[in-house]
Amino acid sequence: MTDVVAAPPGAAAATGSEPLLRVQGVHVVHRIRSRKLIGHGNVYALTDANLSIAAGETVGIVGESGCGKSTLAKVIVGLQRPTEGAVNFRGTSLWEMSQKQRARQFGREVGMIFQDPSTALNRRLSIAKIIADPMDVHGVGSSRQRRERVQELMALVGLPTSVADAVPGQLSGGQRQRVAIARALALDPALLVADEPTSALDVSVRAQILNLLMDLKDRLGLAMVFVSHDIQTVQAMSDRIVTMYLGRIAEQAPANDIPDRAYHPYSRALFSATPSLLRPTEPIVLSGAVPSATNPPSGCNFRTRCWKATDECANALPPLTRVGAAAQADETAEPLPLHEYRCWHPELPDAPSDAAEPLKTDSTDTHSANTHSADTHASDAQSPSAESLNAESLNAESPKAGSLKKEQA
Ligand SMILES: Nc1ncnc2c1ncn2[C@@H]1O[C@H](COP(=O)(O)OP(=O)(O)OP(=O)(O)O)[C@@H](O)[C@H]1O
Ligand code: SF4
Ligand SMILES: [Mg+2]
């Protein structure tokens, strides 16, 4: 399996230097008791995930409910231990550290924001105490320095000093999420992981929180992993987008390549489900339900819903295909932004090509050469800017499991 340093399009981070965080061949399997399965069964929550995050990069993770987005987010922040595989932070393996070392070194560098701020915050503590908590736990600074830092963080996230002594129940949902963000930033992390940070909020405050996150990311130079059902928001927030399906990463692409130059049929279907005024597309409606994570289909796990599926798709997992790999094979060449996918019969890009043929990059390529070649392109379509985030765009319906249907071709 080939892994590539994720980097924002055109940024220096694409140089192949050690990424901030690297997830390598990670599987997460939950053992469950199930009456249906008579005894125990396995839930394959994450399968062979490979992802690298460069300093300052924002990676968006999308996919239908249950596809493993939160599991991957938890693996990244060290809340979920992989059943198999490795997570390296600044080149050091997370799960080879002692628990103390992990908390001391890694815990300080990574902050997490959860979906629902009302359950993520201790209801009995004051706002000032909640924000100071990570500093207390890690013994950072004197008590005066912590008080000052709390004030600084409250100002940074737009909280009035008047709420310092309030408890979470006295704040609005948007203010509570600002508290959660301030707490996540308390130790000056290098990476912020936000799992559906706005889905529990009113539409009217979603844009404010998203704009705050974008602003903080730029001001503080944070790397960010952003998980959401809201495709348009993910496009606006991210440098790169990871599409997941049934526990697997189906495609990773620079945000500018989505949706016109998405190769994986599932990416096409997912992104077509959120209409855009700039790029009106016919929604691709998928038929059938998402298969069970206890018994995923053989070969390509999307084959039971894919309109392009053939016997080949059932027989073997498609190899990883990296777009623009031919150029990347020349080590002296300027590295291209990462774009890779797994599909035997990829969609052809809507936009014209101007670069290299894709190249398969791993040993799962047991079949003959991919006859459905596609090309690499310089990105010319821009994803919506941060400024374009507004309440209206955030109100778009998110695709839910089973809601995508495609007529059989
Ligand atoms: N502790 C657990 N025990 C058993 N199964 C689990 C556990 N946690 C997650 N799963 C299963 O793993 C799969 C992936 O779950 P995950 O929460 O990562 O999905 P998700 O993409 O975040 O979904 P959503 O969009 O609904 O939040 C699902 O099938 C889920 O039911
Ligand atoms: S490998 Fe086959 S089933 Fe899977 S997405 Fe590609 S065409 Fe569809
Ligand atoms: Mg989730």
pLDDT digits (tens, 9 = 90+) for 312-331: 999 999 999 998 754 455 55
Q: Residue 405 has what pLDDT?
A: 39
> For position 278, what pLDDT does the model report?
57
Tell me the per-residue pLDDT of 158-210, one tens digit each, with 9 for 90 and over. 999 999 999 999 999 999 999 999 999 999 999 999 999 998 888 889 999 99
Give me the CATH number covering residue 294.
Answer: 3.40.50.300
Nearest bound ligand to the CA of residue 297: 2
**What is the position in ligand 1's atom list of the atom closest to the CA of 67?**
21
* Residue 309 is assigned to a structural domain of this protein: yes
Distances from the Cα of 86 to the Cα of 19, 27, 70, angstroms: 14, 9, 17
Q: Which residues line ligand 1 (CB under 6 A)?
A: 30, 32, 43, 45, 63, 65-71, 293
Distance 66 CA to ligand 3 centre (A): 7
The alpha carbon of 285 and the centre of ligand 1 are apart by a number of angstroms equal to 24
Task: Determine the structural domain holding residue 90 and report its residue range.
Answer: 12-115+196-382
Residue 191 covered by a domain: no
Task: State the distance from the centre of ligand 2 to the C-alpha of 196, rounded, in angstroms.
Answer: 28
Q: Is 259 in the pocket of ligand 2 (CB under 6 A)?
A: no
Q: Cβ(255)–Cβ(60) under 8 Å?
A: yes
Distance (Å, whole) CA 257 – CA 353: 12
Distance (angstroms) between ligand 3 centre and the Cα of 70 equals 4
Count of domains forming the chain: 1
pLDDT per position as a tens digit, 294-308? 999 999 999 999 999
> How many CA atoms, within 13 angstroms, populate the side-chain half-sphere of residue 230?
25
Residue 270 lies in a domain: yes
Atom of ligand 2 nearest to the CA of 250: 5
Mean pLDDT of 229-242: 90
Asked, for residue 120, whether it belongs to a domain, the answer is no
Spatial distance between the Cα atoms of 272 and 267, rounded to a whole number of angstroms: 8
Distance 68 CA to ligand 1 centre (A): 6
CB 10 within 8 Å of CB 344:
no
> Residue 396 domain-assigned?
no
Q: Does 308 sit in the ligand 2 pocket, CB within 6 Å?
A: yes
